[in-house]
């Protein structure tokens, strides 16, 4: 599966109830697990003990979970809940109707505690025919392996400059997404604005934000 070494295979079924029973989460999220998730399998364990790779400072293990979903469209909150309950980094392989899609979050330790993690955002591939996805294990330690997996799954959506860390790439991507939201909002306001002076002010503001975007993207070429 995913071109990963056989020695990393785990193949253990995880009851989906583990992630919502006896846990204080919204009822709507529990319904998402019930309605959208069929089965969860723990397929692989990538770690220093299963591969000839040193442990990382931030990443000790990467678990590979196969999540069989009812429909290709699903609620991302499911992945966030699983990530919240598992104190390791996770690569999700979603499967549905003989197609598959890989998801991975940029997951880092939260300031609140050693076992607490937060996911700033997820990256994913397109849906492709089942068995099509394959990822290379690149890096001398688990930190590097994780960073390279995130970049492989994110593809062109996560650009980087030479020598840029994964954290820096993700931060720049988040800044880019915020600027895109501002640009879309201003463009809508300009279309609706009737007063010429106000429209000119909005266009000037839009021009400034677009220059910021050009500068930001210039770092990723």
Give 112-151 as a DSSP string: T-TT-EEEEEEEE---EETT--------SBHHHHHHHHHH
pTM: 0.82
The number of C-alpha atoms within 13 Å of 186 and in the hemisphere containing its C-beta is: 19
How is the chain split into domains, by residue range? 6-158, 169-218
pLDDT for 155: 87
H/E element holding 50?
none
187 φψ region: left (φ > 0), alpha (ψ -120 to 50), beta (else): alpha
More confident call, 43 vs 177: 43
Mean pLDDT of 13-40: 92
The overall average pLDDT reported for the chain is 90
- Supply the pLDDT for residue 221: 45
And the tokens for 88?
Answer: 């390791």
* Range of lowest pLDDT (3-17, 106-120, 181-195): 106-120
Nearest to 63 by CA among 2, 127, 138: 2
The stretch 151-166 carries a mean pLDDT of 81
pLDDT value at 104 more than 60: yes
* 8 A C-beta contact, residue 179 and residue 92: no
Q: Which range among 66-75, 166-175, 177-186, 191-200 shows the weakest confidence by mean pLDDT? A: 166-175
DSSP 67-114: EEESSS---THHHHHHHHH-SSEEEEEEEETTEEEEEEEEEEE-TT-T
Is pLDDT above 80 for 214?
yes
């Amino acid at each position: 599966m995913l071109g990963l070494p056989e020695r990393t295979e785990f193949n253990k079924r995880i009851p989906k109830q583990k992630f919502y029973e006896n846990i204080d989460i919204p009822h709507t999220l529990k319904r998402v697990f019930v309605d959208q998730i069929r089965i969860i399998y723990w397929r692989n364990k990538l770690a220093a003990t299963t591969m000839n790779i040193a442990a990382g400072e931030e990443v000790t293990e990467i678990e590979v979970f196969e999540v069989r979903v009812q429909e290709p469209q699903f609620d991302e909150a499911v992945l966030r809940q699983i990530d919240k309950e598992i104190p390791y980094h996770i690569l999700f392989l979603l499967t549905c109707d003989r197609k598959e899609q890989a998801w991975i979050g940029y997951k880092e330790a939260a300031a609140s505690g050693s076992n607490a993690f937060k996911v700033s955002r997820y990256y994913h591939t397109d849906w492709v025919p089942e068995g099509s996805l394959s990822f290379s294990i690149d890096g001398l330690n688990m930190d590097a392996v994780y960073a390279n997996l995130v970049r492989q799954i994110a593809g062109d959506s996560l650009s980087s400059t030479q020598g840029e860390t994964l954290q820096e790439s993700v931060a720049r991507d988040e800044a880019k997404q915020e600027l895109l939201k501002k640009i879309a909002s201003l463009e809508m306001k300009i279309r609706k604005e009737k007063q010429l002076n106000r429209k000119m002010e909005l266009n000037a503001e839009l021009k400034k934000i677009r220059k910021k975007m050009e500068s930001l993207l210039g770092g990723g070429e």
